[in-house]
A and B are shown apart, each in its own frame.
Chain A
Amino acid sequence: MSVRWLSGKVAAAALTLLFVIVFNFFLFRVMGDPTDQLARLPRATPEEIQKLRGQYGLDKPMLGQFTDYMGDTARLDFGISQRSRRTVTDEIKDALPWTLLLVGTGTLLATLLGSWMGVKAATRRGKHSDQALLGFNLFTYASPEYWIGIILILVFAVWIPILPSGLQVTPGTEFSNFFSQALDVAKHLILPATAMTLMLIGQYFLIMRSSMVDVLTEDFITVKRATGMRWDRVVNRHAVPNALLPLVTLSAIQFGAVVAGAITIETIFSWPGLGELTYQAINDKDFPVLQGTFLFFSFAVILANLAADCLYFFLDPRVQGR
């Protein structure tokens, strides 16, 4: 039963990925004519363009191009960046760790702080502290994350110049050891990670708060209280674990937002991850890179959804019964 459920989910995810890959072909080969990009080459004569079309396989019929594309994609070959002349795969490989560092730190902090604030607000519902937390989180929820990033730069890099306003390391520094380098990176990470945290925290707060409010009105909580158990123990031992479940689903839904945040926040802070790569590709009309990052982001989100489904499966026995 459970194996069938799981394999169904995996198959659905694989099918979605296949959809994305095929859709990607139509987007970039059918909607956007790649010869537009070739024509942008300086002083390219029609003969040269024709030759290039041959090299790229663009003179083949659509079906031939499609099978070429599928083969390339299967070999993780997404072409060559028009800007850097490096392969798109290499570009993504270099950028990925930086994005993971930023996104990981931001998601971790947002989950912890957001749910902690949610628990606090739910147990003090209607009081001033609840209203203040609600106001703060609704504000961050509604504001553009890159705007928050700009304000962080304004405050902590310009008015009170204690933190770097961009990049991942201080340029031109020779680091004597790994530790001092890590320290320098950490210093550069503070502002972008704060922006990422503030972007995500509102959702976690709102979900955790309403989930806690629900759990706290359930009978078993009243029973626990009636046994004379201390209130904070009732909350931490019995209410919180039961309220955590919706958070798991949320983290999957959030992943799309995380990707969006990576693009805008990395742009603001010149953080050399996938988002910054995407932004440069937008500006340079570097379609192979744009295509590569689009595929990669989609892949990551599909994978995250699958992971959340699996996690949910192990956490909630009710799903397993079905």
Chain B
Amino acid sequence: MSGREAVRVLFSSWRGRFGIAVLVVTVFVAIFGSALAPYDPTASSLDVLQPPSFDHLLGTTESGEDVFSQLLVGTRTSVVVGFAAAVISAVLGSAVGIFSGYFGGWTDRILDSLENWFLVIPTLPLMIVLARLLDPSLGVLVAVIGLTSWAGTGRIVRAQVMTLRERAFVERARALGAGDTYIIRTHVLPNTLPLIFANTVLIIAVAILSEAALSFLGLGDPSRISWGSMLENAFGSGAPSAGAWWYVIPPGLCITILVLAVTLIGFLYEEYINPRLAMDRES
């Protein structure tokens, strides 16, 4: 799959176009959110839990902050954690997958049992424990999510590399005297990259949801607003029972739309690689 092919796949269906539109808007807001925000997102006022009005497009929080501004500024946290954690997870997963798939033997046995272990133990409790033991910050969130979510990628990459290893062009290269590093770089990696890419896109979704869940549980970076921490504050201040829908619905909806967009793009690439998975293929 070349870069041009990747773009064509993306724009060939409404799911891809929806996904890319959401991503473009989200990344834009993530970069310029603080400049776009009409208010300082942490400036409290006496207008407590006010419904939406022309002054406050999405109303106010329990301490009179502007919900819309918080939403704009909070976008950055979700995007940064989502993408950075997915990159860590992709690098770790592909490294482990390629090493264990390519070299086999004891390397494979050890790495594979490590992978199995990470696949089996429940990630959210593990993330909670790690985040609680370390001091909460953006870096810790990225590291904790990245380090706990690579096993799925590792498993898929390993399977792909194991079949690649037996293919004729790899054996030919080896017969011609090519070293392992050369074979991995020129034959194994390029042929695994589409798979890694599709998987990483799906992991972005997992990472965004994980960041939101950890922040919701009070384990986020306390100095930063995120959609998850907005939900934490809304829930903690009793906004649901006060009927403050304007405070409760927008952050969750933003998470949902972003995760949906990323998931649809991920599914699209998975289907491209493995057409048997196609969601709306014609019979």
Contacts and interface: CB of A to CB of B under 8 A. Distances in A.
Given A138-B264, A142-B263, A151 B282 contact: no
Interface string B94-135: 000000000000000000010011001111111011101110
A256 B120 CA distance: 8
Task: Count chain B CB atoms within 10 A of each CB in A139, A143, A278, A290 and give the residue with the most.
Answer: A143
Given A142-B256, A210-B277, A282 B124 contact: no
A267 B156 CA distance: 34
Contact of B252 (A141, A143, A298): A143
A55 to B, nearest CB: 22
Contact of B132 (A15, A141, A285): A285
Nearest to A264: B213
Nearest to A261: B124
Contacts of A297: 122, 125
Nearest to A155: B245
12 contacts: A143-B256, A144-B231, A150-B252, A154-B243, A159-B243, A165-B240, A214-B276, A256-B122, A259-B125, A282-B128, A290-B129, A297-B125
B122 A301 contact: yes
A159 B240 CA distance: 10
Contacts of B279: 134, 210
Interface residue SS majority, chain A: helix
A144 B209 contact: yes
Contact of B125 (A165, A210, A263): A263
B283 interface: yes
Interface of B: 113, 116-117, 120-126, 128-130, 132-134, 205, 209, 212-213, 216-219, 228, 231, 234-235, 240-243, 245, 248-249, 251-252, 255-257, 259-260, 263-264, 276-277, 279-280, 282-283
Interface residues of A, number: 54
A282 B217 contact: yes
A217 interface: yes
B240 A158 contact: yes
Given A19-B117, A144-B231, A147-B252, 9 more contacts: A143-B259, A148-B252, A157-B240, A158-B241, A165-B240, A282-B128, A282-B217, A283-B218, A298-B121
Contacts of A146: 213, 216, 231, 235
B241 A153 contact: yes
